[in-house]
Amino acid sequence: MIAAPLVWAGKRATLPFMQDAFSFDDTMVRLGVFAGLFVLFALIELLLPRRRLIASKGRRWLTNLGISATASLLLRLMAAIAVPLTAVAAAFYAQNNGLGLLNTVDWPDWIKILIALVVLDLAIWAQHLASHKIPVLWRLHQVHHADRDIDVTTAIRFHPVEIGLSMLWKMAVVIPLGASPLAVFLFEVILNGCAMFNHANIGLPR
């Protein structure tokens, strides 16, 4: 097995065999990974830009980061007055209540994690396709495509409502699937990292 399953302990998840020595706050870890990758790609953009930007970078970054911060604040507000709108929280809920396919089968953890990663990736692909095909979703998704330039900040430029709907969609997939908190955490990290890399204005060697 790759890793022991995570268990809920208040607001944190802890690895069972290291409960006294190590605590795992998925929000802080994801934020740390995001910040690290963001800075890395931003620096590479400065050194190896693929194309010349046409709009003010400072103004664009302020706008894009502001949109992202607004979405994050709204999700936290909803979590404070209702329920946590995070896929990891949904995974903990499913795990603690024995819900979902993968919580009912006795398979090795690495197989269940791999299945969860593939299914969640397909779910995000379906969501992205729907955002281009369904008019009301496209109106929200246009905020992402309205960026005058494309760089690492474009990866986080999404309408707050679209962010909320995306999180609800992931939760709707995570619970019946029974994806583990660890699998969902890994997926979120990989998804964010790939999104920033794909949008980064980096000139790769040919």
Concatenated DSSP letters of 76-114: HHHHHHS----HHHHHHHHHHTT-SGGGSS---HHHHHH
pLDDT at 116 (0 to 100): 97
Q: Has residue 106 been placed in a domain?
A: yes
**Domains identified in the chain, total number:** 1
pLDDT at 86 (0 to 100): 82
Among 156, 183, 190, smallest CA distance to 72 is for 156
DSSP 155: G
pLDDT at 110 (0 to 100): 95
Q: Has residue 169 been placed in a domain?
A: yes
Our measurement of the distance from residue 104's CA atom to the centroid of its chain's CA atoms, rounded to an integer in Å, reads 26
pLDDT at 18 (0 to 100): 29
pLDDT at 52 (0 to 100): 83
pLDDT at 81 (0 to 100): 65
Q: Has residue 2 been placed in a domain?
A: no
Q: Has residue 78 been placed in a domain?
A: yes
pLDDT at 83 (0 to 100): 59
User: What sign results for the dihedral spanned by CA atoms 4, 9, 13, 14?
Assistant: negative
**Residue 92 belongs to what domain range?**
7-199
pLDDT at 53 (0 to 100): 81
Q: Has residue 206 been placed in a domain?
A: no
Q: Has residue 205 been placed in a domain?
A: no
Q: Has residue 1 been placed in a domain?
A: no
Q: Are the CB atoms for 14 and 7 separated by under 8 Å? A: yes
pLDDT at 56 (0 to 100): 80
| Strand pairing category for 7-9 and 12-14 | antiparallel
How confident is the model over 138-160, as pLDDT tens digits?
A: 999 999 999 988 899 999 999 99
pLDDT at 8 (0 to 100): 33
How much is the pTM?
A: 0.80
Q: Has residue 204 been placed in a domain?
A: no
Residues of the chain with pLDDT under 50: 1-24
Longest Cα–Cα distance of the chain, Å, equals: 55
β-partners of residue 13 are 8, 24
